Structure 1
Amino acid sequence: MTGLFDGVLDHGPLASLTDDTAWLQALLDVEAALARALADTGVLPVRHAEAVADACRADRYDPSALGRAAADGGNPVIPLVGELTARVRETDPEAARHVHRGATSQDVMDTGAMLLARRAGAALLTDLRALADHLRELAGAHRATAMPGRTLLQQALPTTFGAVAAGWANGLAEAADQLQHVLEHRLAVQFGGAVGTLASLGADGPAVTAALAARLDLAEPVLPWHTERGRIAELAGALGRTCGAVGTAAQDIVLLAQTEVGELVEEGGPGVGGSSTLPHKRNPVAAVSALASARQAPGLVANLFAAQIQEHQRAAGSWHAEWLPLTDLLRRTGAAVAWLRTSAARLRVDAARMRANLDATGGLALSERVTTDLAPELGRAEAHRLVADACREAVDSGRELAGVLTRRLDGVRGGERIRALLDPSGYLGSAPVFTDRVTGAGSGRTGEAADTGPEDGTGRTDRAHGG
């Protein structure tokens, strides 16, 4: 059943990979793997293990009924084990005696959470890598497209849209690297029994743990981690970082798509981005939805971090408190990434509007360049004073800065030179080079510093970059 908010907040592939059926199958996969691990170590005959595994299909169980029954024991594994045992008993009464052998409920919940995270995380990584690749292409296409750089929401010096998109791509790529590391190296099986000693399995406990880890292709931990929740925290941190990278890009898109700015437009086709009251609106709805999803991550991450503090060998409530925040964090992260992919695919870059906005200050945004040019002759303090006075005059009089400077600097700098200094396309610094480092242009290396130097805005390299 689709909820009222699912179309926005559960967008993308992770919703179905973290729903009740996905959770239930993950728990059953743990029970099946445990039975087979017992057989692998000679504790249980193979035929009995297969009888258990055959009953571990989610479509044979009712998640809603299990959820209601969970109230009596405090977690859904208890009624699930009861139903699983009853089903196995129908075909192999002897095998039914070995269902869930050696495990405690938290073992199944924690290991199930690891499986769920790995499956959902794989889909998330695919989306995240594709998004970063698309933004790299966008950055390369606009390597030299000049636009206002903004600090504290005010125009500062010029930059390029290529550098902006490269920043988005790099942040997302690094978040993907961190998430991949967690998924590949930090997801581990949980198997400790009642207090983390596996006493009920005698000397076979460590061997069964190793076999269970191998069956599920999860890491074998040094010891059970019932109350040491670093793995959950690392996963939460990686997901939170991903949402931060997504949210930064989405917020930039929303701001750049404002009517008064108009440098980006989301073109989603008829009916997309409309308003319930205003016929003229073209809202950047995909970026807005990405931002709405990403903004929920900090609270969910905080809940999971807070749950790390747990008592003795099994906590009273803290591990229970992780289930929904972890599920929601996976879903919100998946939705954020999926929506930003949609936004990026819809983006139209208005280079002419970017240039018009650069020109809107009448050259004021390039005043630093004039100061730098004058400093060797006049000294930095005097150059700064002269240019600052000219800026004030230009603002007060409404005149172009170039005209004011030409008059004030008569005999020091000619009008042609001053206009060249105030041309934004000639003061982009190393923005194109930084873009190339992300796109891999000219070096064959993506994400590394290329051995090229800063450009003067015309495509010429002034000096070599030492790496």
Structure 2
Amino acid sequence: MTCTHERSHIVDSTFYGHNYSTPASHRIFCDRCRFQRWLDIEATLALVQAEIGIIPADAAERIAASAKVDLLDLDAVRAEIRRTRHSLVGLLRVFQAACGDAGEFVHYGATTQDIQDTGQALEMRDVLDEIESVLRPVVATLADIADEHADTVALGRTHARPALPIGFGLKVAGWIDEIMRDCERIRAMRGRVLAAQLFGGVGTMAGFGDAAPDLLQGFAARLGLTAPPLGWHVARDRVAEYVSTLAITAGTLGRIGDEIRTLSRPEFGEFELGWRDGHVGSSTMPHKRNPEACQQIVVLARLAAASVNTGLAAMIGDHERDSRALRLEWACIADVSHYTLAACAIAESVIGGLAVRPQRIGENVADVTEQVITERLMLAMGRHVGKQTAHEHVYQLSQRAQSTSTPLRELLAEHEVGALLNDDELARIFEPSGYLGQSASLTRRTVTEARKWLGQ
């Protein structure tokens, strides 16, 4: 078989594309589906124009009936695009021919970017709908984990080192809260970002005559988009916001995936990743169970972040139109969408197969108990000698304990400040479960908000 070299980007790879894209992202950004979307927009334009008397009603009906990509010769479209060196005229000419005499009214008064920007807004809307639909079950699963382990004593770590005890559910609650903020950002930007474009060559709407305002309102309403007060042919902040918001969402999932990866390492053992017979971690080390999915979420988050620079660069354009900006968007919108949707899908799979290991969590706390109680010890001692003085005492004792592998409690008993606290006080101080602060209540409050958000 002779290779036709049709799949040269990783998202389109027959073999590896599933790690960088999803069936939904392919559906949304498919060439053929994009043409159909543009034809739907042309049909909508014609129908609304007929309603307000700009073009004949029978012409609009013929245009709408002909606006089916299956009726067009796509080879001819491709040839015309290359011959004309224009991104839309090739499609319009073949479409016009399919409409017969009504073809004279196709694309009436509009400019190329009106159709393509409106189509792009519909693509972005479909992506946002998909993201929210995937993140909801992620939040539901995390809420169950957080609720179950609100009181599970765990090790809080700062700068990759033991810090203070926390409820394990609080860690998970932090993930939930961040995902819900991502979804809030997505919902908040919909009205701004998902806007129709129908302002003609230089934004004056001159080609539509006095009916232009009514046309825009009807056009946007039929498509389910916002009718903006002005054209945005060169004002690309909407796209920059979309790209940035998706990259933030992917970044959230990257942080979660990376922490799951870390906590599932044998040295930590606090999570166990889902696994099934047939998964292979290495071609030479048969025992390996690598956290490939967690690592891939991080990869996708970093790729999504790289799209932001391109999205911001597209904000700079000349005068009333500039393709240097637009063609950047054709790349970065699809890229950030593929990567973010893939990150969402992989995160849903990882979290859905996750198992918490409470016994190992407790063992990890027990191994460093004398480190994670130093704040509590300092504050108790501070009631007698002042907090800053107590900090210095506990600092010297705890650092010596680590350097000499001597138990902190033993060093404390030998020091004069040890007499400041009785045995019962010390027993309470050296019990990590008594210093979880508001972990449980903060966790349960977040879980309640999550379930309310989910409509449970």
Fold equivalence (TM over 0.5) = yes
The 5 Å alignment of 1:154-303 reads 154-272=161-279, 274-303=281-310
1:143 to 150, 156, 160: 150
Query: How far apart are 1:87 and its partner, in Å?
Result: 1.2
1:36 to 10, 34, 47: 47
Query: How far apart are 1:410 and its partner, in Å?
Result: 5.1
* Amino acid across the alignment from 1:256: L
1:429 to 422, 432, 437: 437
TM-score (norm 2): 0.90
* Amino acid across the alignment from 1:392: Q
The 5 Å alignment of 1:299-338 reads 299-338=306-345
Q: Does 1:82 align with 2:93?
A: yes
* Amino acid across the alignment from 2:425: R
Instruction: Tell me which moved more, 244-253 or 391-400.
Output: 391-400
Query: How far apart are 1:395 and its partner, in Å?
Result: 2.0
Q: Would the aligned equivalents of 2:143 and 2:451 in 1 still touch at CA under 8 Å? A: no
Query: How far apart are 1:8 and its partner, in Å?
Result: 0.3
- SS of the counterpart of 2:420? coil
* Equivalence for 1:451: none
Output the CA distance in 2 between the equivalents of 1:309 and 1:318: 7
Output the CA distance in 2 between the equivalents of 1:394 and 1:65: 79
Give the 3 Å change call, closer, same or farther, for CA 446–400 of structure 1 in structure 2. Answer: farther
Query: How far apart are 1:63 and its partner, in Å?
Result: 6.3
String of CA shifts for 1:114-138, please: whole Å, max 9, x gaps. 1111122211111122222221222
Output the CA distance in 2 between the equivalents of 1:263 and 1:107: 53
* Equivalence for 1:380: 387
Q: Does 1:360 align with 2:378?
A: no
Query: How far apart are 1:288 and its partner, in Å?
Result: 1.8
String of CA shifts for 1:293-312, please: whole Å, max 9, x gaps. 11111221220111011111
Give the 3 Å change call, closer, same or farther, for CA 158–369 of structure 1 in structure 2. Answer: same
Output the CA distance in 2 between the equivalents of 1:67 and 1:239: 32
- SS of the counterpart of 1:356? helix
Query: How far apart are 1:48 and its partner, in Å?
Result: 1.6
- SS of the counterpart of 1:296? helix
Q: Which has the higher helix share?
A: 2
> Which 5+ residue runs of structure 1 have no aligned equivalent?
448-467
Query: How far apart are 1:81 and its partner, in Å?
Result: 0.7
Give the 3 Å change call, closer, same or farther, for CA 392–119 of structure 1 in structure 2. Answer: closer
Query: How far apart are 1:321 and its partner, in Å?
Result: 1.6
Q: Does 1:27 align with 2:35?
A: no
* Equivalence for 2:26: 15
- SS of the counterpart of 1:220? coil
> Which 5+ residue runs of structure 2 have no aligned equivalent?
1-6
Give the 3 Å change call, closer, same or farther, for CA 276–59 of structure 1 in structure 2. Answer: farther
Q: Does 1:120 align with 2:127?
A: yes
- SS of the counterpart of 1:226? coil
Query: How far apart are 1:274 and its partner, in Å?
Result: 2.5
Output the CA distance in 2 between the equivalents of 1:417 and 1:112: 68
TM-score (norm 1): 0.88
Output the CA distance in 2 between the equivalents of 1:446 and 1:427: 30
* Equivalence for 2:426: 418
Give the 3 Å change call, closer, same or farther, for CA 245–275 of structure 1 in structure 2. Answer: same
Query: How far apart are 1:358 and its partner, in Å?
Result: 1.7
* Equivalence for 1:450: none
**Could you say which structure has the greater relative contact order, defined with CA pairs below 8 angstroms and 6 or more residues apart?**
2
The 5 Å alignment of 1:440-455 reads 440=448
* Amino acid across the alignment from 2:246: L
Query: How far apart are 1:218 and its partner, in Å?
Result: 1.0
Output the CA distance in 1 between the equivalents of 2:23 and 2:103: 39
Q: Would the aligned equivalents of 2:162 and 2:371 in 1 still touch at CA under 8 Å? A: no
Output the CA distance in 2 between the equivalents of 1:444 and 1:196: 45
Output the CA distance in 2 between the equivalents of 1:352 and 1:86: 72
* Amino acid across the alignment from 1:189: A
Give the 3 Å change call, closer, same or farther, for CA 171–419 of structure 1 in structure 2. Answer: same
Q: Would the aligned equivalents of 1:186 and 1:231 in 2 still touch at CA under 8 Å? A: yes
- SS of the counterpart of 2:348? helix
Output the CA distance in 1 between the equivalents of 2:451 and 2:236: 40
- SS of the counterpart of 1:295? helix
